Amino acid sequence: MNGGENEVRVTTVGLDRRLDEILRDCPGIRVESEDTGRPLRELPDTLVIGPRLTSPEACNLLSQSASGNARATRNIVLYRGEREVFQSLVDEDRLYYLADCAISDQQLGAIVRAAGASTSRRSRNANARLDENERQINFCISLPMQQDLPSAARLLAEIAREEALADRVYWLIYDSGQDILWSKESGIVDRSESAAAGLIGFVLRTGASICCDRAAAHPLYDAEADNPGGRGDDRLMVVPVPGHNGPVGLIVVIREPHREAFAQHNQDTVEQLASYAAPTFEQIILQNNVQAVLLREPKGTSGSDIFREEAWENHQQSGSQAGDVLKSLPPWLRSAQWILLAMALITVALVIWGRTVRIGSESVTHSLFSNLKQPR
Domains in the chain with CATH codes: 4-125 (3.40.50.2300), 147-293 (3.30.450.40)
pLDDT value at position 60? 83
Task: Classify the C-alpha dihedral 226-229-233-235 as positive or negative.
Answer: negative
Cβ-based neighbour number of residue 147 at 10 Å: 9
Per-residue pLDDT tens digits for 297-338: 655 554 455 556 666 566 555 544 545 555 555 666 667 778
Q: Among 158, 160, 184, which Cα is nearest to 173's?
A: 184
Alpha helices (H) in the chain, listed in sequence order: 19-22, 55-68, 83-91, 105-142, 149-163, 198-206, 223-226, 264-295, 309-318, 331-373
Per-residue confidence band for 1, with pLDDT thresholds at 50, 70 and 90: very low
Q: State yes or no: pLDDT of 239 exceeds 90.
A: yes
Query: Distance (Å, rounded) from C-alpha 371 to C-alpha 187?
Result: 91
Backbone angles phi, psi at 84, to 5 degrees: -65, -25
Residue 151 and residue 185 in contact, taking contact as beta carbons nearer than 8 Å: no
Per-residue pLDDT tens digits for 78-120: 887 677 778 777 777 788 888 887 888 888 888 888 887 776 5
Range of lowest pLDDT (173-182, 252-261, 284-293): 284-293
Highest mean pLDDT among 57-66, 105-114, 180-189: 105-114
Taking the model in full, what pTM does it have? 0.48
Per-residue confidence band for 290, with pLDDT thresholds at 50, 70 and 90: confident
Helix axis angle, 83-91 relative to 55-68, nearest 10°? Answer: 10
Q: Among 222, 251, 221, which Cα is nearest to 239's?
A: 251
Cβ-based neighbour number of residue 122 at 10 Å: 14
